[in-house]
Amino acid sequence: MSVIDLSALKGGLKELPPLSLYIHFPWCVKKCPYCDFNSHEFKPVPGAITIQAADNVGRSRVGDGFDEMAYVEALLRDFEYSLPAIWGRPITTIFMGGGTPSLFSPEAMDALLAGLRARARIHPDAEITMEANPGTFESERFKGYRAAGINRLSIGIQSFDPRQLKALGRIHDGDEARRAVEIALTHFDNVNLDLMYALPNQTLAEALADIDTAIAFGVTHISAYHLTIEPNTLFAVQLPANLPDDDISADMQEAIEARLEGAGYMHYETSAFGKPGRFARHNVNYWQFGDYVGIGAGAHGKISSHEGVVREMRYKQPAAYLQAIADGNPLQSRHKVGRKELPFEFMMNTLRLTGGFETRLFSERTGLPVSCIQSQLRQAQADGLIEQDLTHLRPTLKGQRFLNDLLTLFLHDEGEN
């Protein structure tokens, strides 16, 4: 950790950043063994209307007996609590994540989006993304999502190989994965596929086969993630056998990057590849240290004002979240980001972008002068981790490969006053 120049920690935000909205849907059909997101297995209630019937009746129950429309109503009330902090600011992107948002019916999504539009300014060209699980695909259902106003899908494929899907505990097989992409492209012209590599017993050829299959569909965006063993997951307790070693994993990463770039996908973030003009606008706002309201069980938010930056978190457990909404306060925690923390938080996001950022963005998004991190920048440059010119700062290829080492330079010393 390094010492931030405290004499430079002055000023404040003169201009507010773009604003996004994240909406969390906490239920899944099955919890995947690698997943550390706030997700809970959907448990049908005896005698209750099932999720699959939602298209016909417009109303269904999800996990532990919660009514999907009741959850939508809770989301809208949650959003209303956030309005004073963002009043008048247009929302430029919306992302529905989970969990599995596609467990919810098109009618529920339509009611949610209509309710949001009635309460806030949604930009007419807003990117509205929904995550979807291949195991929940059905053509008419996704036609309904498009009609509701969702204009981008992000599909959790992970692999097209049935052996790997079984190892990852996914509920779909390879054929269902391919069918899901075909259905998605029938109704959406902006589709992301999430893929994983460095999987148990996976070879370089198998990792590239997944990438080639995704490329062949002609989707606009592909996210390629290295399988990471996260704490508090089943994989952390029962480590999968025969994971590729670091050298093989690095070979996979380099080969995947080359294959995607050769197919016209621009590598613009650590794990993200997009066709020109089709980057994930919602995620780019995160990575440029923009603002976002987070609603739903366990959702996080970041809101700026002229006084500084505040981070919020909702209650994680669905029952606790719904009770908190009923009690009139969905926040489990809220804290102002200290000025000594801001440089690290800013860099933790922006240095994920392979093209880096315009230097002026640091002051615009943190309210701090760049001079407060000059010693860190000089050290990073001396270590070959960043390069900069008069207007831009970007990680080098070495900086991208050793991002954690680069970010450590911007951690403030806990002993600072």
Give a yes or no: residue 311 inside a domain.
Answer: no
Classify strands 272-274 and 266-269 as parallel, antiparallel or unpaired.
Answer: antiparallel
pLDDT at 232: 80
CATH number, residue 375: 1.10.10
The arithmetic mean of pLDDT across residues 15-33, rounded, is 89
Same-domain status, 114 and 51: yes
Question: Which domain-ending residue is among 270, 285, 300?
Answer: 285
Same-domain status, 262 and 364: no
Would you place residue 2 in the very low, low, confident or very high pLDDT band (cuts 50, 70, 90)? low
Would you place residue 166 in the very low, low, confident or very high pLDDT band (cuts 50, 70, 90)? confident
Same-domain status, 60 and 136: yes
CATH number, residue 76: 3.20.20.70
The set of long-range contacts for 403-409, using a CB threshold of 8 Å and a minimum separation of 24, is: 403/270, 403/351, 403/352, 406/347, 406/351, 406/380, 407/344, 407/347, 407/348, 407/351, 408/1, 409/2, 409/376, 409/379, 409/380, 409/385
- What residue numbers bound the domain in which 385 lies? 6-14+339-408
Same-domain status, 142 and 277: yes
Give a yes or no: residue 330 inside a domain.
Answer: no
Top pLDDT among 304 and 234 is at 304
| 252's tokens | 């996979």
Same-domain status, 200 and 247: yes
Same-domain status, 113 and 130: yes
Question: Which domain-ending residue is among 222, 257, 285?
Answer: 285
Give a yes or no: residue 297 inside a domain.
Answer: no
Same-domain status, 205 and 169: yes
Count other Cβ atoms within 10 Å, centred on residue 228. 11
Give a yes or no: residue 119 inside a domain.
Answer: yes
DSSP strands (E only) in 7-151? 19-25, 27-28, 40-41, 61-62, 66-67, 91-98, 122-132
Question: Which domain-ending residue is among 267, 285, 303?
Answer: 285
Same-domain status, 281 and 343: no
The 10s digit of each residue's pLDDT in 180-203 is: 999 999 999 999 999 999 999 999
DSSP letter string, 42-62: --PPTTSPPGGGHHHHS--EE
Same-domain status, 219 and 124: yes
Decide if pLDDT at 59 tops 50.
no
The number of domains in the chain is 2
Specify the pTM: 0.91
Same-domain status, 115 and 249: yes
Give a yes or no: residue 294 inside a domain.
Answer: no
Classify residue 125 as exposed, middle or buried by CB count within 10 Å of its CB (0-12, 13-18, 19+). Answer: exposed
The arithmetic mean of pLDDT across residues 385-399, rounded, is 95
Same-domain status, 62 and 10: no
Question: Of 72, 69, 46, which is closest to residue 58 (Cα–Cα)?
Answer: 69
Give a yes or no: residue 333 inside a domain.
Answer: no
Give a yes or no: residue 308 inside a domain.
Answer: no
The 10s digit of each residue's pLDDT in 226-256 is: 988 788 877 777 888 889 999 999 999 999 9
Give a yes or no: residue 310 inside a domain.
Answer: no
Decide if pLDDT at 22 tops 80.
yes
Same-domain status, 10 and 34: no
pLDDT at 4: 54
